[in-house]
Structure 1
Amino acid sequence: MNIIYRSLLIMGALIASTMAAQADDKGIQDPFPEEVTKVTEHSIKIAGERIKYTATAGTSFVFNKQQEKIGNIFYVAYTKKDAERNRPITFAYNGGPGSASVWLHMGTFGPKRVLMDKEGFMPKPPYQAVDNAYSLLDETDIVFIDPVGTGYSRPGGKGTYQDFHGTWEDIRSVSEFIRLYLTRNDRWSSPKYLAGESYGTLRSAGIAYHMGQNLGVNFNGIILISSVLNSTLDEFDAGVNIQAPITLLPTYTATAFYHKKLDGQFDSVQAAIAEAKRFAMNEYALALLQGDQLADSQKQQIAEKLSQLTGLSKELILLNNLIIDMSTFVHQLRRDEGLTIGRLDSRFVTEEVDAMKQAGYRDPSYMAIHGPYTETLMDYLNTELKFKSDLVYYILGGLIQSWNTSEFARDSFDMSRKLRHAMLRNPDMKVFVANGYYDMATPFFSTEYNFSHMGLPKSLRGNIMMTYYESGHMMYVREADLIKLKQDMREFFKFSTNR
């Protein structure tokens, strides 16, 4: 349907994974009849300070309105030892829907991270986890959450997957976990944060609205990594939606610059992006608005400029009526070299004999992280956190077979409406937005467009902090951006707590 729900289809062999999941869990009614926790003690050095912390890996029941158990959510919580009760606490998760929290957990925020090469490309196996000197543990306690159907989280008791697998079902169930964690661990008085990546950003906006509106919980800040709040902005529906080709163009240009397809027109990726933005919001937008009424001479000029900004041929652009969808771009930019580029991170490439004739799409940027993150996480959970289970730990998509969007449809598939409501209700809440230049899954210009059309009063626009990185969807896989992200996050915590 769109980027959020399509994401499960483009990241590896998920159909096979789903079939395996069905077979694996067949007949299992309640894999965790009791709550299970494993507590271990650790320390890590961050910014010159040795921090002692407790790690709790476990499952927490989820209840319905009748206080009947409907599921178990697996989580890993890191809390600083001997800290004051009002220390900030951050609840973190990833996207999909159908992704475990492994990426934020083992990529950037947690005390351990998967070791990639400096540019974020896959190292040779066996893979390893190292102490993460750029963890957020010096700023906040962190609870990583795996929504039901991901990781080790499953329905149980009176619950079924239908209780969890929908936009608002997901928001309410994760909110219930957060409420229960705050209560059980005496953290109601702590400064509270939400951190989500990809679909997790949509989840964060919904949780901030739902918990503020219905549970009286106000958050100090929301951290949006590779944001997608409006799931219609990437729809390439010729004649109906012209936003997608406009808002994706700067990402195409950044990608073409990286792959040296712009004939040396620009001195930097920032200069290339600036020109793409200018053209997208002016000549290109006006041309697409005219549709078939666009004069042929103007069409030729627009196609020539698009060719200069994308590295694609003018003939191909004219053949596609000036609208370059993502599939065309990833397959065509380096097709003459037999290469397809990545969607999550367009710096990555993979070889194809003939990319346009291959069944499905193998995203090289996902293939590069899937193995290292899976192997490293499983070893870490078993050996250091002492949490063992015979269940399959679903990294991405394994148990998500359908997703209910009926309630979301009433908001026109745009969760920024709920984020605006949450910000109006809680005007002290700050929002951090991290964008990767080479992210075609959640393009940065689409995010800018969404935030500039939220209708926020001027008094609240300053609550939003936008940052940018020279990598993709998971910008933290590149070491320089991992470091920059931590520096930016440190500033955000100061910004949101008035330190």
Structure 2
Amino acid sequence: MKRTLALLLAAATLTLSLGVCAADAPAKPEAQSAAVHVAPPKDEKSVTHGSVTINSKRIDYTATAGTIILKNKAGKPTGSMFYVAYVKDGVRDPSTRPIAFLYNGGPGSSSVWLHMGAFGPVRVISGDAHHTPPAPYNVVNNNDSLLDVSDLVFIDAMGTGFSRIIGKDQGGVGTPKDFYGVNADGKSFSQFIYDYVSRNDRWNSPKYLIGESYGTTRSAVLVNDLQQGQGMDFNGVVLMSSILNFETDSFNPGNDLPYISFLPSYAAVACYHKVTQCPADLPAYLQQVKNFARGEYASALMLGSSLPVAEKAQIVQKLAQYTGLKPSYIEKADLRVSLFQFMAELQRGKDLVTGRLDGRYSGYAADQLAEYAENDPQSDAITGAYTAAFNRYVRQTSA
């Protein structure tokens, strides 16, 4: 009975030690099964046709949703990079037609935002400064698409969208270190663009890179890799929400640059939410804030603890006037309010958190005592709409 129970437990849990199994007269070892060979994935693509109307002019295009397999120097697959390309129909000479490669940043974001929210032929309908209601969602013709002036290739960074690492279990040799890092990330995009340009006869086309946020950092690495390593020159690089100097966004001790550069945005957002009195001439008002930030405020921060008490009190009052925050809060912050502190504090009296990527958005503050905002209401408001709309669009349109 005891022996039978031990064998049953061993079979059920597979956790008994070899010694215990030996004491209970182990069964004969089974022959190891031969390793299963997994064929690596291949390039795939789905081609469809559509049209977009831009400035009252119809443009017919060919859309390709697909993947390009990235390989190491030994020719072994490491990753599958997903893209959606839109190419204008009827162009006989590719050298007369520009092509742009587009991607968002993060790092860790797919290209859905530039694709479905900015420059692709269709645009997701989402709430403007308020939460987008649940499904169903819709897409509409995008009059602001760049397809009238350039072919477009939207690329998903590895691990985002439908781009995937091809590891041993998938028949490849890819690992996270092959893609996750400034240089590794740039290298993967470099290989993708080189392969795409070569396979689609676009070497003589005017070429552009369009990156957003961390995508601007990627572009700096990428354009150098392609020009120096592959001899591929570019006609232009577009930097959207540029972050080439991370000190401008790092609220760290000893670094006062972000406090200075963010102040005009604080003032504009406070004005929008009517926390401060918004003047009739907003541009002139914000220029005034910029002058203060680069002048009196910057000087006060550099003086540090040697700033005279009377001058500090004046700076506190001006900061309160521009940001809508309480003077006591600004004084306790030693004149330095970080972005996530501002998001949490601006509308605390209404139990609201202010948006980060778009300050017009507001959301309920789950923790009303939190010093820092724990979420971005703007991202919360539109992510569901973009995720659902893109999945429906790419799966049905490209099927």
TM-score, scaled relative to structure 1: 0.69
- 2:63 corresponds to 1:63: no
Counterpart-to-counterpart distance in 2, 1:322 and 1:358: 16
CA contact (8 A) 2:103 2:154 kept: yes
Q: Which residue of structure 2 aligns with residue 85 of structure 1?
A: 94
- 2:335 corresponds to 1:326: no
Counterpart-to-counterpart distance in 2, 1:46 and 1:155: 37
CA contact (8 A) 2:341 2:371 kept: no
CA contact (8 A) 1:40 1:55 kept: yes
Please state how far the C-alpha of 1:375 moved relative to its aligned partner: 0.3
Q: Deviations over 1:257-308 (max 9, x none)?
A: 11112224x2233223211110011111111111111111111011011111
One of 217, 221, 224 as aligned partner of 1:202: 217
Q: Which residue of structure 1 aligns with residue 256 of structure 2?
A: 242
- 2:120 corresponds to 1:106: no
- 2:194 corresponds to 1:179: yes
Counterpart-to-counterpart distance in 1, 2:163 and 2:366: 39
- 2:82 corresponds to 1:74: yes
Q: Which residue of structure 1 aligns with residue 272 of structure 2?
A: 258
Please state how far the C-alpha of 1:124 moved relative to its aligned partner: 5.0
SS of residue paired to 1:222: strand
What amino acid sits opposite 1:93 in the alignment? Answer: Y
CA contact (8 A) 1:94 1:104 kept: yes
Percent of pairs with identical residues: 44
CA contact (8 A) 1:88 1:191 kept: yes
Q: Deviations over 1:359-403 (max 9, x none)?
A: 9712100011100000000000111121xxxxxxxxxxxxxxxxx
Q: Which residue of structure 1 aligns with residue 379 of structure 2?
A: 366
What amino acid sits opposite 2:230 in the alignment? Answer: L
One of 125, 132, 137 as aligned partner of 1:122: 132
- 2:282 corresponds to 1:274: no
**Paired positions, count:** 356
Higher relative contact order (CA 8 A, sep 6+): 1
CA contact (8 A) 2:50 2:62 kept: yes
Q: Which residue of structure 1 aligns with residue 312 of structure 2?
A: 299
Counterpart-to-counterpart distance in 1, 2:206 and 2:131: 36
Counterpart-to-counterpart distance in 2, 1:67 and 1:237: 44
Please state how far the C-alpha of 1:219 moved relative to its aligned partner: 1.0
Counterpart-to-counterpart distance in 2, 1:59 and 1:149: 13
CA contact (8 A) 1:257 1:272 kept: no
Please state how far the C-alpha of 1:51 moved relative to its aligned partner: 1.1
CA contact (8 A) 2:341 2:372 kept: no
**Matches for 1:373-384 after TM superposition, within 5 Å:** 373-384=386-397
Q: Which residue of structure 1 aligns with residue 226 of structure 2?
A: 211
Gaps of 5+ in 2: 1-36, 167-171
Q: Which residue of structure 1 aligns with residue 105 of structure 2?
A: 95
SS of residue paired to 2:232: coil
CA contact (8 A) 1:36 1:59 kept: yes
What amino acid sits opposite 1:263 in the alignment? Answer: Q
TM-score, scaled relative to structure 2: 0.85
Counterpart-to-counterpart distance in 2, 1:298 and 1:257: 25
Counterpart-to-counterpart distance in 1, 2:38 and 2:314: 63
Please state how far the C-alpha of 1:125 moved relative to its aligned partner: 2.8
CA contact (8 A) 2:107 2:214 kept: yes
CA contact (8 A) 1:115 1:128 kept: yes
CA contact (8 A) 1:32 1:72 kept: no
Bigger Rg over Cα: 2
Please state how far the C-alpha of 1:108 moved relative to its aligned partner: 1.2
Please state how far the C-alpha of 1:236 moved relative to its aligned partner: 1.8
**Matches for 1:11-30 after TM superposition, within 5 Å:** none
Gaps of 5+ in 1: 1-28, 387-499
One of 227, 240, 247 as aligned partner of 2:242: 227
What amino acid sits opposite 1:258 in the alignment? Answer: Y
Q: Deviations over 1:460-494 (max 9, x none)?
A: xxxxxxxxxxxxxxxxxxxxxxxxxxxxxxxxxxx
Counterpart-to-counterpart distance in 2, 1:299 and 1:307: 12
Q: Deviations over 1:435-464 (max 9, x none)?
A: xxxxxxxxxxxxxxxxxxxxxxxxxxxxxx
Please state how far the C-alpha of 1:207 moved relative to its aligned partner: 1.0
SS of residue paired to 1:224: strand
Counterpart-to-counterpart distance in 2, 1:71 and 1:245: 40
Counterpart-to-counterpart distance in 1, 2:386 and 2:243: 23
SS of residue paired to 2:247: coil
What amino acid sits opposite 2:299 in the alignment? Answer: L
Please state how far the C-alpha of 1:120 moved relative to its aligned partner: 7.1
Counterpart-to-counterpart distance in 1, 2:280 and 2:293: 20
What amino acid sits opposite 1:129 in the alignment? Answer: V
What is the CA RMSD across the aligned residues, in angstroms? 1.9
Counterpart-to-counterpart distance in 1, 2:38 and 2:326: 56
